[in-house]
Chain A
Amino acid sequence: MDETVAEYIRRTVLKIPRDEIKMMLQEWGFLSEAQLQTLNFHQIKDNISQEVVQLCEENSADIKQAAALDIIYNHIYQNKRMWSVYQMKKSGEELEYFDITDFKKKFKRRLRSALKNVTITFKEYEDNAIWIRVAWGTPHKKPNQYKPSYVVYHSQTPYVFISSSVLKSTLPLLCQALIVASNYHDIREMELRSHSLNSLKDIVFKRYSQNFQTDTPKPLQGGNVEPENADIRIVEENKSEKERIHRLNQEVFGSGPQPKLEFAQYRLETMFKSDPKMDVLDKKEPFRCLVKFSSPHLLESLKSLAPAGMADAPLSPLLTCIPHKARNYFKIREKKSLYPESFVSP
């Protein structure tokens, strides 16, 4: 077995948490059940991975099998990677029958005609997702297995999710191979990025619950007994304000769980406007800012701002449009219209 393959398998196994190694090796299916029985999963990972490599040696593993194990790892730990979304465009309207064999053939052929040294691996999953792993080399060097690109393509849709290799120059090649293989004629990157692959899918496949009015407003937890004096009116107002905020939030965010994004970025090139009394900056040039919101679960976080008193309800459409515009990167310029308070995002 090639030394580099052995090392690559060893390092891949080392990445796997100890109590998941057996399951992943089983899914991989390269080692027999009998071989798996011989492995001691209770020792330190260093030793486990050495033993796995030895077994792979017995079976004469090559880079193809090693790459298959890597796809399995990255499919399970997909949220460790940053995914970008691309949309492909067809020239005509015809829905062609998708032939997976044809797709793979064309993809490999396109890549290999441009670059001799590539490792290409495919794996299909139940949800119609085709996972593709590409390791890139040069005309004179073998592919670098440690910096591959991953592509997830749902064949019934024009969307492709790419976790790029850090080798930036490989991206155009990858995109070309995709459109050729899938019979599209163009591909563009959307302004949508996240670690959560499923949330990106939720957004572009519109699988999250969108804005709709709930008929029955959620009853608020009251707790205190209202004293029967003049204070009743104040309490009532606050309660109705809370209900108003809740209702507006529902209208704008929907009542279901939000897709999970970690950040949103806004490049602002709008004018600075102030109270003329303040006698401050009154330039004709834009006030250039870059605003970045980050959170473990951004949309849920934004949804909770108004109820927490941190924001007005309804929240700005710049924030609430994220799921249905399917983007979390924006460039905002002043709209030249009668209503200077509106913004346009190209």
Chain B
Amino acid sequence: NFNFFPFLLFSPPHPQEKADPQKTAFLLRKAWTLYSVTPLYGFRRARLRDYARLLGAFIAAEKQKGLAVEVGVELDIKVALSSLPDIRGSELDQAALLVQLSSRSRASSRNSEDKPVWSGWFCSVFGDDLFENVPEHFTCLPLFLSHGAESYTSLVGSWFQKTFDCCFRRLAISPLNLSWMVAMWAGCKLDRATSAVELVFSVPRLAQPLDISYAIHPEDAQALWDTVQKTPGEITQEEVDIFMDCLYAHFHRHFKIHLSAAKLVKVSTAVASAHCDGIVKILNSQYLPGVLMLLTELAISQIQ
């Protein structure tokens, strides 16, 4: 799936603009559900406040129609749209777009703080190469990440689809891509590798389903990857296969079970974790661009 791998993957983020640590901090340590999004037609950065107003009105109207978002609670939903200029790979990428829904209970006083209820953001990190011949008026932000109730995701998604004639699709992550992720992230050099490199497998079709968690000490996983990976900054399918085969062989030696025949459903490292249902958690800000680049590529291959 990844036939090339730019050398920028493991180097620190390109110092174009000073990254706002507060903005990017809120992206970390949250479970984001992934979608691919086709290019948005007629989207204009200057109109963010208008869009926020329109989306807010849309949500209020849907609630009036009886689409119960939260039963029994009277909530006014406030919408905010903003750009995240630091979240992009190169100048050719569009800046990321953040959508935040917050609520203020009608019962509480005017001065009470808004409670964040849902957030979603569109981004593109080095997605430009694959969107070369995009016609005018189209904005490419192929990766969408959401956090919060599914009902809000559905509302926001519907509005964007109607307004910008785009299409959202859940992004699943195959075992092949998960094994790439675990191999790459296990190799990342971190100041303190505090969490294990964990692979979670599922054997569902038995009479009694079985889940297997295989967690390796991060130093040992990194040492293994270092002997497998031959060219710094470049990763091949063969190297990922060897890394996985080593782990499978070590497991088989002890338990006589063929892990390769089980389904890899989740991988977890100190850099990030990813689940086959298309849910990721990014844990490390240094490697945020690298993780987003990988996810952007996955989204693009789903669109094409």
Q: Which residues of chain A have a CB within 8 Å of any CB of chain B?
A: 266, 268, 270, 272-274, 278-283, 285, 287-298, 300-302, 304-305, 308-312, 314-316, 318-319, 332, 341, 343
Contact = CB atoms under 8 A, between A and B. Distances in A.
Given A270-B254, A290-B196, A291-B213, A283 B223 contact: yes
A293 B216 CA distance: 15
Contact of B224 (A273, A280, A290): A280
B251 interface: yes
Given A287-B250, A301-B206, A305-B206, A311 B228 contact: no
23 contacts: A280-B242, A280-B246, A281-B227, A282-B227, A287-B220, A288-B220, A289-B250, A291-B215, A292-B213, A293-B210, A294-B211, A294-B212, A295-B209, A295-B210, A295-B211, A301-B207, A301-B209, A302-B210, A308-B205, A311-B258, A314-B256, A316-B257, A318-B255
Contact of B249 (A274, A291, A304): A274
Contacts of B251: 291
A292 B213 CA distance: 5
Interface string B250-282: 110111111001100000000000000000000
B216 A304 contact: no
A310 B227 contact: no
A291 B214 contact: yes
A288 B254 contact: no
B252 to A, nearest CB: 8
Instruction: For the complex of A and B, list the 6 residue pairs with the smallest distance between their C-beta atoms, beginning with the closest.
Output: A288-B217, A301-B208, A312-B256, A292-B213, A316-B256, A311-B257
Contacts of B212: 291-294
A270 B227 CA distance: 19
A311 B207 CA distance: 15
A310 B258 contact: yes
A267 to B, nearest CB: 10
A279 B245 CA distance: 13
Contacts of B261: 309-310
B211 A304 contact: no
A300 to B, nearest CB: 5
B104 to A, nearest CB: 31
Contact of B208 (A279, A300, A319): A300
Contact of A290 (B215, B249, B258, B262): B215
Counting chain B residues whose Cβ lies within 8 A of the other chain, the interface size class is 20 to 34
Contacts of A312: 256-258
Contacts of B214: 289, 291
Contact of A280 (B205, B227, B253): B227
A289 B213 CA distance: 10
Contacts of A300: 207-208
A295 B208 contact: yes
A281 B209 contact: no
Given A274-B249, A280-B224, A289-B250, A296 B256 contact: no
Nearest to A289: B216
B193 to A, nearest CB: 12
Contact of B246 (A268, A278, A288): A278
Interface string B221-234: 00110011000000
B166 interface: no
Nearest to B205: A308
A202 B36 CA distance: 52
A331 to B, nearest CB: 13
Contacts of B188: none
A316 B254 contact: yes
A266 B246 contact: no
B254 A332 contact: yes
Contacts of A270: 254
A273 B224 CA distance: 11
A268 B217 CA distance: 10
Nearest to A268: B254
Contacts of B249: 274
Contacts of A288: 216-217, 220
Nearest to A315: B256
Nearest to B262: A310
Given A289-B216, A291-B214, A292-B213, A316 B207 contact: no
B203 A310 contact: yes
Contacts of A318: 254-255
Contacts of B208: 295-298, 300-301, 304
A311 B209 contact: no
B243 to A, nearest CB: 8
Given A280-B224, A280-B228, A316 B211 contact: no
Contacts of A293: 210-212
A281 B216 contact: no
Nearest to A265: B213
A320 to B, nearest CB: 10
A316 B210 contact: no
Given A288-B216, A289-B214, A292-B213, A305 B250 contact: no
A296 B211 CA distance: 10
A263 to B, nearest CB: 9
Contacts of A268: 254
Interface in B157-212: 196, 203, 205-212
A281 B223 contact: yes
A272 B250 contact: yes
B41 to A, nearest CB: 47
A294 to B, nearest CB: 5
A296 B203 CA distance: 12
A22 to B, nearest CB: 31
Nearest to B250: A272
Interface string B66-109: 00000000000000000000000000000000000000000000
Contact of A304 (B206, B213, B262): B206
Nearest to A283: B223
Contacts of B220: 272, 283, 285, 287-289
A274 B209 contact: no
